Amino acid sequence: MAPSQPSPTLPSASLDIDVIDAIAFDQSLQSDCLTSGTLYPSPVQSQHLLATTTTSADTTMALAYDAGLPDIIPQEYHQYLDVFSRVKADKLLPHRTYDHQIPLEEGKSPPFGPIYSLSEHELKTLQEYLEENLAKGFISPSNSPAASPILFVKKKDGSLRLCVDYRGLNRITIRNRYPLPLIDELLDRLREAQFFTRIDLCGAYNLLRIAKGDEWKTAFHTRYGLFQYNVMPFGLTNTPASFQHLMNDTFKDMLDRSLIIYLDDLLIYSSTLKQHQEHVSVVLAHLRQAGLYAKAEKCQFSTSQTEFLGFVVSDQGVTMDSSKTEVITNWPVPKSVHDVQVFLGFCNFYRKFIPQYSRTAYPLTQLLRKEAQSAPFAWHNDAQHAFEQLRSAFGTDTILHHFDPTWPIIVETDASDFAVAAVLSQTFDQGARNPISSDSLQLASSQDPWTSSLLERVHLGSAPPGSTINSMNLLTYQDSVCVPEVDDLRLLIVQDRHDSPAAGHPGRRKTLSLVRRSFFWLGMSKFVHSFVDSCETCRRIKAVRHKPYGHLKSLPVPPHPWLSISMDLIEQLPPSSDFTAILVVVDRLTKMAIFVPTTNELDAPKLAKLFLRHVYSKHGLPTSIVSDRGSEFTSHFWCSLSTLLGIKNHFSSAYHPQSDGQTERINQVLEQFLRGYSNHLQTDWSDLLPLAKFSYNNAEHASTQLTPFFANYGYHPRFSFDNTDPASPALFPTARSYADQLKQLHEYVRGELVKANSQSAEQFNKRRLPAPQFQPGDRVWLSADNIRSLRPTKKLDYRRLGPFSVSEIISSHAYRLQLPPSMKIHNVFHVDRLEPYVTNTIPNRVQPPPPLVEVESDLEYEVEQILDSKVDHRYRDPLFYLVRWVGYGPDHNSWEPASNLTHASDLITEFHTANPTCPSPTPCETPPLSSFFWGGILS
């Protein structure tokens, strides 16, 4: 190779000549710190000479490190020396598919944190960190709108490590649920291994880039500026998952065959040396291909024993790392609750090596209970004894041998009032018991009474054969057969104690009692409860025991008097001056009432005349009327008239009322008055109505604390000949003053009503449950209370039908169900008619088929009114009607094909008579709608 000429601008006297190997030379050619140089070939050990003018200290150290690799790495792996190159490891790698992404929750932005104060030593370390990582390209200057603070923590050697406080960013980062391996499972793979090689990656997280566009989220600020990471830093919430994903995919063909990996720690294991060298070569080749680099001084090759993840593994088994247990054996006596927590936290890592660890540590864990922490710290004799026992136990060289499924298994168990323990052992060729694993558990207070008794009785491991097997090869507990963990067997037992006629579908408690008489298994209560809760037959035949669903929803309080009124009829009274009924009209704001005598034969036109004479002429036109579903209120005439006048009708429902029940209460007051003053023959009640009206309107109302008369007019009527009665409104100073006072009065009344409605709802809702929220596709049970079937008697009929699927959400309290074609009823139901369906979770359980629902042929949901019609030629029956159903509000209106309305022919004829231009089966003639106006009414 011809040497290149040195730059004429640089004097030769400044040249600094280093001797390096071929790998370092290859890296030097790619190094940014090399500005010019001359190559001098040398045949000695294939080394090269590189003359350079400027080489940074870090690069010089890296080059020197790489030059010494042949002395560290075994000869058989020298072809992979580049895998251990410090120069390459310090380079910024290109982007790849495994780049670390930082997805944020929708609408969230990374926080901008404070800058923490740093000491002089910390500032110097920070400068060195920034210079080094800027040179490597691991970080870069940033203009990010976010910034996390930094701080320093001490390493074991006393040096400082920079940490970025990413807690704010982590809180809004969507979690990556990629799993990390279980350490115990990894160690179990080493059963037949004789040779081990441990590889520790160099700057592992720096080998993975931050995904393009996410770098700004990692920004951190210092007194020297704002910077962001280009490589994956420590402290981000998803970094372990991202790195484990990379490692698992890189070595997927070797995992659990000859290699186990936990993040950046790799352990290669083999049964022969030849196989092992092949396995190591394959791993190094994979590392080279993936652009991953190892730290040579932390690697260990072809050994029979090595340290891995805090354990020492060998061909014999797994032991504790003596360098770590030495810390425990020399631990000082704790002086506070925090000291105890730290000590036990350290011990818990090796707890499986200590038989009956939970029992030994019990006095120490009692010091961590809430009630103990509230008192002064007390280090008693039991705690000291437990502390010394643990320190002594961790000083032993316990070996947990590798499990071999071909050898016999021995399980020894023990239990006490506060802890349980178990040891798994095997007997190998030597005949001695070799511990495989141990475990222990402290019991919660709720477990103490039964767990101790159970485990001490069963005591599987140490009891002599046959001591718990009395007869029929059955294992028993307190004279009950212990049922193994076989779902089909447990299912058969519970079915016999619940579904059979001899059992009679009892509830949770009684079914559990029947099962407990003869059987036992852990989790039996949960199994039985799940079985009973999901029993479809029980849901069909049993009454509901909980409070009704659905909270009270009051109608809004009107802003002014007589804008919203309620109307009702008291019927079937004895004749009085040819009257047999009373029309009751109540203003929903002031509660003022009007009592109008009428007859049982009151129809819509007559109702309109009474409305004109007693309401409209005196108080004006309301905007809404609340009434029941009597025919006089729901007739086509009255509804059409209300529409023309701009009045909205609110009909109460017998199934789920949501309107104000004030009229029903006033009816009771009126009937009570007439009961007290009518004659013996009850023929003069119509003459008493004016006094009844005065009496009611002059009495204080509980909701407003005012009389309806005063709330409406702003003054009290003269009640008697007493001169102390209040004056008439004519004595008010001015008309304007009277109007202002009346306005204030109405505002006061409205506020009092809102308060009263809220209090009423609060009391009412104490007797109700919140309505369950169903979604389309959910299955529900339908109450059969208002559905008559063809079965002989309602007493023996099903209480619920279904289950049916929810097809549509009508409102928070109403749902449309997907009913079978045989049920020709309206398919929208209030939530208090529905019960949630509990899905069966017991495998292989077969529920009985649902019974055939035979609804009476004439049982269709009653059509209240035909509102509109349309033609849709996509269907075989193209004519549809918009139907309002009796007992349901406007939000339940639905389009129904004409074939579903065979029993509503009168309403259909009435609709087409009033609406001749709407689509119909045949043309209809109808008189003009002018008869709906007041002139037609009065004629």
pLDDT of amino acid 431 = 65
User: Minimal CA–CA distance to 389: which of 413, 360, 410, 415?
Assistant: 360
Mean pLDDT for the stretch of residues 2-11 = 40
| Architecture category of domain 773-854 in CATH | Roll (2.30)
What does the pLDDT look like over 488-506, one tens digit per residue? 888 889 988 888 888 888 8
Contact 719, 698 (CB under 8 A): yes
CA-CA distance, 131 to 137, in Å (whole number)? 10
Name the residue with tokens 């204080």. Answer: 700
Does the 564-752 domain belong in CATH 1.10.3130.10? Answer: no
- For the chain, the straight-line distance linking the first and the last C-alpha, in angstroms and rounded, comes to 124
How far from 169 is each of 126, 209, 238, 640, CA to CA, in Å?
A: 22, 18, 11, 63
829 pLDDT more than 50: yes
768 pLDDT more than 70: no
Q: What six digits make up the tokens of 818?
A: 């997907």
Residue 888 CB partners (closer than 8 Å, separation 6+): 653, 814, 826, 828
Q: Within a 13 Å sphere around the CA of 938, how many CA atoms are in the beta-carbon half?
A: 6
Q: What six digits make up the tokens of 315?
A: 């061909």
CA-CA distance, 120 to 117, in Å (whole number)? 10
DSSP labels, 817-840: EE--TT--S--EEEGGGEEEPPPP
What is the DSSP secondary structure assignment for residue 375, as one 8-state letter? Answer: S
Q: What six digits make up the tokens of 892?
A: 């339940």
What does the pLDDT look like over 843-894, one tens digit per residue? 877 777 666 555 554 444 567 788 889 887 766 678 888 888 765 556 667 7
How far from 735 is each of 715, 726, 729, 730, 747, CA to CA, in Å?
A: 14, 18, 9, 9, 18
Beta strand 814-818 pairing with 828-830: antiparallel
What does the pLDDT look like over 615-629, one tens digit per residue? 888 888 888 888 876
Contact 782, 833 (CB under 8 A): yes
- Indicate the pLDDT class of residue 465, thresholds 50, 70 and 90: very low
CA-CA distance, 279 to 198, in Å (whole number)? 12
CATH class for the region spanning 120-315: alpha beta
Least confident residue range of 441-450, 564-573, 658-667, 673-682: 441-450
CA-CA distance, 246 to 258, in Å (whole number)? 18
- Indicate the pLDDT class of residue 266, thresholds 50, 70 and 90: very high
Q: Chain-centre distance of CA 813, in angstroms?
A: 22
pLDDT of amino acid 24 = 45
User: Minimal CA–CA distance to 266: which of 235, 241, 304, 292?
Assistant: 292
Buried b (16+ CB within 10 A) or exposed e, 25-40: bbbbeebeebeebbee
H-state helical runs in 114-256: 120-136, 167-171, 183-188, 239-250
CA-CA distance, 306 to 267, in Å (whole number)? 9
Q: Chain-centre distance of CA 750, in angstroms?
A: 41
User: With pLDDT > 70 as the criterion, what percentage of the chain qualifies?
Assistant: 73
φ, ψ (nearest 5 deg) of residue 279: -65, -40
pLDDT of amino acid 538 = 83
CA-CA distance, 325 to 79, in Å (whole number)? 39
Of 217-231, 684-698, 727-741, which has the strongest mean pLDDT?
Answer: 217-231
Contact 237, 166 (CB under 8 A): yes
CA-CA distance, 682 to 674, in Å (whole number)? 9
Contact 369, 391 (CB under 8 A): no
Greater confidence (43 vs 503) lies with 503
pTM of the predicted structure, to 2 decimals: 0.47
Residue spans of the domains in the chain: they are 1-67, 120-315, 319-325+342-458, 476-533, 564-752, 773-854, 860-939
Greater confidence (54 vs 389) lies with 389
Topology of 860-939 in CATH? OB fold (Dihydrolipoamide Acetyltransferase, E2P) (2.40.50)
Greater confidence (758 vs 108) lies with 108
Segments of 499-573 assigned E as strands: 519-520, 564-570
DSSP labels, 592-641: -EEEEEE-TT--HHHHHHHHIIIIIHHH---SEEEE---HHHHSHHHHHH
CA-CA distance, 933 to 913, in Å (whole number)? 17
CA-CA distance, 824 to 856, in Å (whole number)? 9
Contact 297, 199 (CB under 8 A): no
Of 56-65, 707-716, 762-771, which has the strongest mean pLDDT?
Answer: 707-716
pLDDT of amino acid 790 = 62
Of 288-292, 449-453, 559-563, 734-738, which has the strongest mean pLDDT?
Answer: 288-292
- Sign of the Cα torsion 501, 506, 508, 513 reads negative
Mean pLDDT for the stretch of residues 317-326 = 86
Whole-number average pLDDT of the chain:
77
Greater confidence (601 vs 876) lies with 601
Number of CB atoms found within 10 A of residue 600's CB: 11
User: With pLDDT > 90 as the criterion, what percentage of the chain qualifies?
Assistant: 19
pLDDT of amino acid 476 = 63
- Indicate the pLDDT class of residue 475, thresholds 50, 70 and 90: low
Amino acid making up residue 118: L
Amino acid making up residue 476: T
Amino acid making up residue 839: T
User: Minimal CA–CA distance to 879: which of 865, 864, 900?
Assistant: 900
Least confident residue range of 129-143, 163-177, 236-250, 547-561: 547-561
Greater confidence (431 vs 368) lies with 368
